Amino acid sequence: MATLEITTTVDAKGLSCPMPIVRTAQTVKTLPPGALVEVLATDPGSVKDFAAWSRSTGHELVEQSVDGPVYRFVIRRK
Amino acid sequence: MTTEMLDSPVGVPLENPFAAALAERELEPETRTRELVIVNWSGELDRIWPTLILASTAAASGVQCKVFVTFWGLLPFVRDGVRLTGENWMQRMLSFMQQPGIDHLKLSKMNFFGMGPWMIGKLRKQYNVASPRELLDAATALGVEFIPCQMSMDMFGIKREDLIDGMSEPAGAATAIEIMTEANASLFI
């Protein structure tokens, strides 16, 4: 896995829908275009939700992986 | 938008229709604005909760979201600690029967004098689900527009200053109809 320059990490572990998305959106808003945001979540619904959210907003879902109960998403702000 | 001007046979410049069409296509889907309107008519937990989840998620997803807040739906938007005194005993009585504010929500079914909401509150914390208050704060921060209904404010004896900060100017049914019919999706929750 290529190492990406992560700007900020959103720790959404333990949060239920829709807070992982809401927190991520709030963080992304504060960053410049091109910034990379890493999101850590434990909500299994976030797999589908982050894909949908990236299609809705145009922010690119660069990477996604799972490590035990933790899902990791990397998003590039458009 | 750049549109080339062409000369018509009579020397009057015409807009290049291809340029306009191309410019429009370039707008898709990156800068198109999508809009969701929710009519929130009930102050009960089982209705306002999904309203706030959808509204905050819409705003988080770049969808412009407007919530028309009407009838009993206004009560959760009353500022903390405000006791509605109204203009007559019926308005005072109603405010006593349903305590206003985002932290005092009842269930439309299975309320059992507060036992139902208490259990839901317990489950909510156990499963780390955001409370209506957290969702309302997030929705407001993300730019959801909450429009109070003037007629309902009058009927319940709610003044502009009784409502939380950040709500739009009060409006009426014609505004609701206009925004609902112009939106990509509208919900009556």
DSSP state of A15: P
pLDDT reading at B6 higher than 80: no
- C-alpha A73/C-alpha A38 separation (Å) is 6
Q: Is residue A1 part of a domain?
A: no
For B92, other C-beta atoms within 10 Å of its C-beta total: 15
pLDDT reading at B1 higher than 50: no
Interface test with A, best of B61, B128, B136, B144 (most A CBs within 10 A): B61
Q: Is residue A58 part of a domain?
A: yes
How many Cβ pairs closer than 8 A exist between chain A and B?
49
Q: Is residue A65 part of a domain?
A: yes
Q: Kindly state the helix (H) or strand (E) to which residue B136 belongs, with its residue range.
A: helix B132-141
What is the model's pLDDT at position B104?
86
Residues of chain B with CATH 3.40.1260.10: 33-188
Q: Is residue A32 part of a domain?
A: yes
What is the model's pLDDT at position B22?
57
pLDDT reading at B25 higher than 70: no
Classify burial at B28, counting beta carbons within 10 Å of its beta carbon; exposed 0-12, middle 13-18, buried 19 or more: exposed
What is the model's pLDDT at position A73?
97
For A59, the domain range is 8-76
pLDDT reading at B8 higher than 70: no
Number of domains in chain A: 1
| Average pLDDT score, chain B | 87
Classify burial at A35, counting beta carbons within 10 Å of its beta carbon; exposed 0-12, middle 13-18, buried 19 or more: middle
pLDDT digits 0-9 by tens, A12-69:
999 999 999 999 999 999 999 999 999 999 999 999 999 999 999 999 999 999 999 9
Neighboring chain B residues of A25 at a CB cutoff of 8 Å: 59-61, 142
- Whole-complex ipTM: 0.84
Q: How far is CA B20 from CA A52, B5, B28, in A?
A: 30, 11, 13
| Cβ distance of A58 and B29 shorter than 8 Å | yes
For chain A, first and last CA: distance in Å? 22
What is the model's pLDDT at position B7?
56
What is the model's pLDDT at position B2?
47
Catalytic site residue A15?
no
Q: Is residue A3 part of a domain?
A: no
pLDDT digits 0-9 by tens, B86-126:
888 988 888 887 789 998 898 988 888 889 999 999 999 99
- Domain B33-188, second-level architecture: 3-Layer(aba) Sandwich (3.40)
| Cβ distance of B59 and A25 shorter than 8 Å | yes
* Residue B107 near residue B44, CB atoms below 8 Å: yes
pLDDT digits 0-9 by tens, B71-90:
999 999 999 988 888 888 98
A70: domain CATH number? 3.30.110.40
